[in-house]
Structure 1
Amino acid sequence: MQGNYTSFPGFEDISLEDSYVLDIVVHPAVLILKLDVLLLPGHPEHRLPAPGERACFRQATVVFSSVRDLHWTGQSIIRPANDASGSADYGSVDSLTRVDNSYRILGDWGEISLQADAPSLSIHPPHTLDPNETA
């Protein structure tokens, strides 16, 4: 079986190409992508953009479990960019594709090829300011 991430369960109505990679974490048998993901209007968690935002972004994680093999090339080119708020990111996910139980992920941070179970996407709850916090 093969396909693009948009055909993966739970990945409908998001755009990885317009999202930001905040971190990539590798542990034995697990790969985690921490994202500021762009939710498209059809996504159940989509809301109008917050003031000053161009679209609806939410913190999210993509988790590949039962990783049996992982190759990450191009790591030496990793240079985080800082946005106007000072937050660092590593660019976007240019593509995420599957061929059988193998996955290929491309971005400004290199290329990761892995054999793993199907990835899961978790959208984090929106951050709400504590009344005692200052924005």
Structure 2
Amino acid sequence: MTKVNYNEISCFKHIYLEDSYVLNIIAEPRKLRFIMEFVLERAHRLYLPPKQGESYFYKKGEIIFINTKVIQWENSEHEFFSTDINNEIDLGNIDAFYKEGDVYYLNGDWGNISATCQDIKVTYTEESY
């Protein structure tokens, strides 16, 4: 099977995950959700100039794995969260994210996740950072 990196998946066009923040991970029946603060690249339709003193424009949103059949989650062996400057929980970044067939593989300080699902989408909230 061919390995497809996240930046080759259309819903991640102009999102830079390596410096985006994972705020929470929620496993529900038939759905897996990553609550995020995304770094949007200049070409993204929602991009705005970064706040003074910041390198990136951040936009809150979610990665949603739809009609999930199997979720395997190996947690990290150390406490993997901290709080950010806004006193919100920060689970770190997504260090690796790719797809093989209908299985998505993700890795970060929070552990390793593989999710077999029908589809994936990115949504945004009105709130920006």
- Equivalent residue of 1:61, what SS? strand
**What's the counterpart of residue 58 of structure 1?**
59
Match of 2:30 in 1: 29
1:94 is displaced (CA, Å) by: 0.6
Equivalent-residue separation in structure 1 for 2:53 and 2:86 (angstroms) = 12
Q: Which one-letter code corresponds to 1:124 in the other structure?
A: T
Q: Which has the larger radius of gyration?
A: 1
Matched, 1:87 2:101: no
Give me the TM-score of the superposition, normalised by structure 1: 0.87
Shift of 1:38: 0.2
- Residue 71 (str. 1) matches residue 72 (str. 2): yes
The percent of aligned pairs where both chains have the same amino acid is 25
Please say if residues 35 and 61 of structure 2, whose CA atoms lie closer than 8 Å, have aligned partners that are also in contact: yes
Task: Report the number of matched residues.
Answer: 128
Q: Give the structure 1 partner of residue 115 of structure 2.
A: 114
Q: Which 4+ stretches in 1 moved above 6 angstroms? A: none
Can you give the 5+ residue segments of structure 1 that lack an aligned partner in the other structure?
128-135
User: Cα distance, 1:110 vs. partner?
Assistant: 0.1
State whether residues 80 and 92 of structure 2, in contact with CA within 8 Å, keep that contact through their aligned partners in structure 1: no
Aligned equivalent of 2:43: 42
Question: Following the alignment from structure 2 to structure 1, what is the Cα–Cα distance between the partners of residues 127 and 104?
Answer: 29
Calculate the TM-score normalised by the size of structure 2. Answer: 0.90
Q: Partner of 1:3 in structure 2?
A: 4
CA contact (8 A) 1:72 1:111 kept: yes
Considering fraction of residues, name the structure with more strand. Answer: 2
